Amino acid sequence: MSNRQGYKNTEIEELPEDWKVAELGQIVTRLENGLTYAPSPSRKGVPITRIETISNGKIDPEKVGFVERLSTDVIDRHRLVAGDILFSHINSVQHIGKTAMYHGDPSVLLHGMNLLLIRPINTRADPFFLGYFLQHETTRNRLRSLAKKAVNQASINTSELRSFKVPLPDLREQRKIASILSTADDAIQKTDEIIAKTQQLKKGLMQQLLTKGIGHTKFKQTEIGEIPEEWKLAPGRDLFSLVGGYPPAALSFEESNDNDIPYVKVDDLNDPRNQIVVTTSRQTLSRRKNPDLSTCPRGVIVFPKRGAAILTNKVRILGREATFDTNIMGLVCKPRVDASFFRYQLEHLGLYRLLENAGIPQLNNKHLYPFKFKQPDLEEQKRIASILLDFENRLALETRRMSELQNLKRGLMQVLLTGKVRVRVN
């Protein structure tokens, strides 16, 4: 008996008294694997799903396969209809149970092997409510517990999936919950489109400004390509100095006081809050516990110096005094070099282009000091950086908005799909 009025304990969790619990197999007409096929190497024919098709949690038309010479009966048998749910039942543990809803795009899409098709009975379960329920992280955790683990892979047996328990409010309430979550998804999709468009504009603008500059009409050929006549080339040693970080073993990570210092790691460069400058880190250092610590001032450029992280091309600027670990390199600009402009030049160039063909990618002074970089006059550097910074700020704003919307959706799923907050049904 639940302690909350109007709620009851169930085999899933505490739910509203008027909600039912059903097995998945009782509320679907189809729960089955897809068509086994030989893919068309020419990418001609009818599009068909692959595991990669739902890798980002939605159906990606760019990641489908193609199959040719199928009969009309086979196409009709395996063709998806709007409201179908694709379910990853054979995958790595972290991706097991991933789902995607089919909304009708592309207009013809066949159900391929290694993904289960779940087609709800519309009079019992709203397809979108069920889809959101299967996406819910709590549900994903329950599904992972059913998975049979093997080397680098896990699988969920279809008979166990049929017995999987699903909470079922009244059909009208299901539709209302699905409608609210769909509104959140629409906002996320629109924001994602704005981010993609802004990134594309920024990329084009970087190409224009970092190769043609502002207002130039005469250009010259150099060893790194065409640049404005007024621009110079200078080796890295004339433009900046490099500084290294501290290994964790050399530091004391006891509780910090008010005078703490951020200790930046490579993962901190991926933080969506750190799109332009690094102002946050997961760890801080106390000056009292680390009296000999040498720090870098605000404005130092930081980027990964070794391993696959170099390929991510995450070039940032310290937004406050900080230090960093040995997997990060710091770059201190000399006079007549604007740090923001140089950061954009590094990002546009691509850190990986400075590497030699080696087993483990690693950047050091022998790569950066002799390399010839572009050097407009300081005023033009600042103007170029200001224009690009405007786009960067827009991206940071939209990225934060995206994070907030995703958090909002997760919160809504947590309370709506469990009945902790009830929706009003007209």
Q: Residue 350: pLDDT above 80?
A: yes
Residue 396 or residue 273, greater confidence: 396
Q: What is the mean pLDDT of residues 6-31?
A: 95
Element (H, E) at 16: strand 14-16
Q: Which of the 8 DSSP states describes residue 40?
A: P
- Angle of CA points 415, 416, 420, to nearest 5°: 50
* Rg of the chain in Å (alpha carbons): 27
Task: Decide if pLDDT at 414 tops 60.
Answer: yes
Residue 147 DSSP label: P
Candidates 89, 108, 88; CA nearest to 99 is: 88
Query: In this structure, are residues 16 and 7 in contact, taking their beta carbons and an 8 Å threshold?
Result: yes
- Alpha carbon distance 295, 216 (integer Å): 40
Tell me which residue of 182, 235, 213 sits closest to 372, measured CA to CA.
235
The pair of structure tokens assigned to 163 is 């017995």
Pair 81, 119: CB distance under 8 Å? yes
- Residue 342 pLDDT > 60, yes or no? yes
| End-to-end Cα, the chain, rounded Å | 30
**Neighbour-count burial for 258-277, b at 16+ CB within 10 Å, e otherwise:** eebbbbbbbebbebeebbbb
Site of tokens 């897809």? 34
CA separation for the pair 367, 349 (Å, rounded): 13
CA distance 160 to 307: 42
Q: Is 48 helix (H, G, I), strand (E, B) or coil?
A: strand
Q: How far apart are CA 169 and CA 173, in angstroms?
A: 6
Opening angle at CA 135, ends 197 and 118, nearest 5? 110
Q: Which domains does the chain have, with CATH numbers?
A: 7-168 (3.90.220.20), 232-375 (3.90.220.20)
- Say how far apart CA 58 and CA 193 lie, in whole Å: 15
Pairing of strands 260-264, 323-324: parallel
Burial of 105 (0-12, 13-18, 19+ CB in 10 A): exposed
Q: pTM, whole model, 2 decimals?
A: 0.82
Q: For residue 354, with 0-12 CB atoms within 10 Å meaning exposed, 13-18 middle and 19 or more buried, which class applies?
A: middle
Residue 290 has pLDDT above 90, yes or no: no
What is the DSSP-derived secondary structure letter of residue 241? E
Which range, of 91-100, 261-270, 354-363, 370-379, averages the lowest pLDDT? 354-363
User: Which residue in 344, 413, 402 sits closest to 373, CA to CA?
Assistant: 344
Q: Cα separation of 188 and 330, whole Å? A: 35
For residue 377, is pLDDT > 90? Answer: yes
Q: Measured between alpha carbons, how far is 372 from 55 in angstroms, rounded to an integer? A: 41
Instruction: Check the CA dihedral 92-94-96-98 and report its sign.
Output: negative
What is residue 23's DSSP assignment?
Answer: E
- Condensed to tens digits (0 to 9), the pLDDT of residues 34-46 reads 999 888 888 889 9
What are the pLDDT digits (tens) for 297-320? 999 999 999 888 888 889 999 998
Are 328 and 245 in contact by the 8 Å Cβ rule? The answer is: yes
Q: Which two tokens stand for residue 413?
A: 């799923």
Element (H, E) at 339: helix 339-349
In the predicted model, is pLDDT for residue 72 greater than 70? Answer: yes
Number of H helices, E strands in the chain: 9, 25
Tens of pLDDT, residue by residue over 252-268, are 876 655 568 889 999 88
- Distance set, CA 353 to CA 338, 357, 367 (Å): 22, 10, 10
How many angstroms separate the Cα of 94 from the Cα of each of 52, 90, 164, 407? Answer: 14, 11, 19, 20
In this structure, the dihedral spanned by the alpha carbons of residues 170, 173, 179 and 180, taken in order and rounded to 10 degrees, is -140
Per-residue confidence (pLDDT) for residue 258, from 0 to 100: 59
- Map tokens 């096929």 to a residue: 37
In this prediction, residue 282 carries a pLDDT of: 77
Asked if 395 and 195 touch (Cβ cutoff 8 Å), the reply is: yes
